[in-house]
């Protein structure tokens, strides 16, 4: 990814993000913008879960898609994720929505857009982040074998074209947000057990979801 930092779009993106953080409250905190990459380095990745952009309310976003800090009330989407894990694997819903425990096992929790202005969903989209994160997805697809890419909802599923499905497992379903999940297609998708089965088949330890 080093080459991405040297491209003109990234210079423009950096200028935009600095200006936004200076003028407005933005999330996640600046030191955590690249948290997903820091907690799950390239060679450690086993599973990629793609989100859209960070939570935009106070105390939630910390640089990992779908994750919140310890002690923060679970957003409805995260509740549905934990409910599906319970259905799929029989695990109790955890006390914390902090998914660092997944990241440290090799789950790259990657939002397509890595920053957001407070209270304004999608406010930092189309400023260059998507170019950067698309490059990360493609680098993993091209540079690694036998990864699991998990794409929930139309936005994440649009990234399927970046992934070599002959080299990797691509799991797709509707989004776990209540609006989508309650229409059907989320509960019972078995993505968590299917991911672990695939990893085991290729000689890797499964994820303790």
Which residue is it, tokens 């997944």?
A: 102
Q: What does R_g of the chain's alpha carbons equal in angstroms?
A: 16
Catalytic residue among 53, 92, 134, 142: 53
53 is catalytic: yes
For residues 103 and 37, give the distance between their C-alpha atoms in angstroms, rounded to a whole number. 9
* Pair 204, 146: CB distance under 8 Å: yes
* Pair 45, 146: CB distance under 8 Å: no
SS3 84: helix
For residues 32 and 46, give the distance between their C-alpha atoms in angstroms, rounded to a whole number. 21
Catalytic residue positions?
Answer: 53
């Amino acid at each position: 990814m080093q080459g991405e930092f040297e491209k003109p779009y990234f210079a423009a993106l950096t200028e935009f993000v600095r200006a936004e953080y200076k003028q407005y409250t933005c999330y996640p905190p600046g030191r955590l913008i690249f948290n997903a990459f820091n907690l799950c380095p390239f060679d450690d990745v086993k599973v990629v879960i793609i989100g859209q952009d960070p939570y935009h309310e106070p105390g939630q976003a910390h640089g990992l898609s779908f994750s919140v800090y310890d002690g923060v009330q679970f957003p409805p989407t995260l509740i549905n994720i934990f409910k599906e894990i319970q259905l799929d694997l029989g695990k109790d819903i955890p006390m914390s929505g902090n998914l660092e425990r997944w990241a440290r096992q090799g789950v790259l929790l990657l939002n397509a857009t890595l920053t957001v202005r407070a209270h304004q969903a999608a406010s930092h989209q189309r400023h260059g982040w998507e170019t950067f994160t698309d490059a990360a997805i493609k680098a993993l697809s091209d540079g690694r074998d036998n990864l699991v890419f998990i794409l929930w909802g139309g936005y994440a599923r649009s990234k399927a074209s970046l992934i070599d499905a002959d080299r990797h497992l691509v799991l797709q379903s509707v989004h776990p947000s209540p609006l989508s999940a309650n229409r059907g297609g989320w509960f019972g998708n078995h993505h968590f057990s299917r991911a672990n089965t695939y990893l085991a088949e290729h000689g890797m330890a499964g994820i303790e979801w």
